[in-house]
Amino acid sequence: MSRAGATFQEMLESWFLSWLMGHRGLSPQTVASYRDAFKLLLSWLREERGVDPEDVTFDDVGRDGLVAFLDWLRDARGCSAKTVNCRLCAIKSFAGYVACECPERSAWARSVSSVKQRRESRPVLDFLTPEEVRAVADACDAGTFEGRRDAMMVMLMFNTGFRVTEVVELRASSFAFGDGGCRVTTVGKGRKGRSVPLWAETSSAVTAYMAEAGIAGDAYLFPGRNVGHLTRSGARSRLDAAFSRASKSNPALRKKRCTPHTLRHSTAMAMLAAGVDLSTIAIWLGHESVSTTHKYMVADMEMKERALERAAGRNPFGDEPQARHYVPEPGLLAFLESL
């Protein structure tokens, strides 16, 4: 049904409540990402253009204004091209909704949709070797409950390859013990559920931790102080502390960085090195497409190329071989705060 004459504010509220959270039922993480994009946009309009959120019109968010906003994200806030593109994606999604609900705004929606994404650089894939992951876990103080918890969290992240959000939202009921083993189930990105087995060492650590902490049933595995469960930043902070201690006795780690997502990359690279095929790794990590997992194959080939170059001097067949580079196949702010 057409919503002719609806204001920018009315359409934005309808998009969030009726479309994203109602009709499409997107995850809280996706809604939060879209909310943050518009909070930044409205803040920019107020600070840079002198337009209060309650007075914003569609003309204020035209093509030129949107390009200026994206430039501000890059220059003033130092956002990467990937982050800028995420904000742009949210605004384009809103424009598509407006075009369907308000046909008279189709020209505005087309102008917004015509804004090009920023070119993203392709950074070197960060990952740790299994030995380096063990060093990080060993750097946790086994003499304290917090240290044992952190070591178990590192083991769990590496064993499962779960995203940090999936890890902090685990409950005691997420684990199924039986037949001498354990499986853990999560509901990840796109609300896709998946279950993976745990190594005996990880299973023992989880069992001991839950017994010591008295965690059972639907209780969160990592409870927070003032929130239901540990936050993503809280998990990152614990991992940063362990990695910092490990780096003091392991010089190789000083050249690397370690985040929860680094451990996810490390899981994929360890599986690839063990000969696991990309389709299985994609299923394990919960990727929508194998093409998403292909970056690990590229990274693995680059490591093999460097190894070939180092071994060139031991080639018994004449001239030093030239490694060939692998090429893969081709009021409003308050409303937003309340979401």
Residue 322 has pLDDT above 70, yes or no: no
Q: State residue 287 phi and psi, 5-degree precision.
A: -75, 145
pLDDT at residue 332, rounded to an integer? 72
How many structural domains compose the chain? 2
Average pLDDT over residues 195-202: 91
* pLDDT, tens digit (0-9, with 9 covering 90-100), for 175-189: 999 876 799 999 866
Residues 75 and 152 in one domain: no
Q: Whole domain around residue 61: which residue ranges?
A: 8-113
122 vs 80, higher pLDDT? 80
Residues 172 and 252 in one domain: yes
Answer yes or no: is 297 within a domain.
yes
Asked whether residue 213 is domain-assigned, the answer is yes
For residue 25, the model assigns a pLDDT of 80
Q: Is the pLDDT of residue 11 over 80?
A: yes
Q: Tell me: do 181 and 285 sit in the same domain.
A: yes
Residue 12: its pLDDT value, please? 95
143 with 266, same domain: the answer is yes
Beta-carbon contacts of 105 under 8 Å, excluding residues fewer than 6 positions away, are: 58, 98, 99
Note the pLDDT tens digit of each residue in 89-125: 999 999 999 999 999 999 999 999 999 998 876 655 7
Residue 74 lies in a domain: yes
Q: Which stretch of 20-29, 31-40, 97-106 has the lowest confidence by average pLDDT?
A: 20-29
In a domain, 205, yes or no: yes
Chain centroid to Cα 222, Å, comes to 19
Q: Collapsing DSSP states into helix, strand and coil, what is residue 194?
A: strand
Shared domain check, 197 and 273: yes
CB 8 within 8 A of CB 57: yes
| pLDDT computed for residue 244 by the predictor | 95
190: left (phi over 0), alpha (psi -120 to 50) or beta: left
Average pLDDT, the chain: 85
Task: Report yes or no: 3 and 11 within 8 Å, Cβ to Cβ.
Answer: yes
Burial string for 52-90 (b: 16+ CB within 10 Å, else e) reads ebeebebeebbeebbeebbebbeeeeebeeebbbbbbeb
Cβ atoms within 10 A of the Cβ of 196, count?
17
Are residues 95 and 166 part of one domain? no
Contact 263, 246 (CB under 8 A): no
Query: What is the C-alpha separation between 211 and 38, in angstroms, rounded?
Result: 44
37 and 142, same domain (yes or no): no
Q: What is the pLDDT of residue 337?
A: 67
Report the catalytic residues: 163, 189, 261, 264, 287, 296
Mean pLDDT over residues 139-161, rounded?
94
CATH number for position 305: 1.10.443.10
Q: What is the mean pLDDT of residues 75-85?
A: 92
Is residue 322 situated within a structural domain?
Answer: no
Task: Measure the CA dihedral 114/119/122/126, to 10°.
Answer: -70
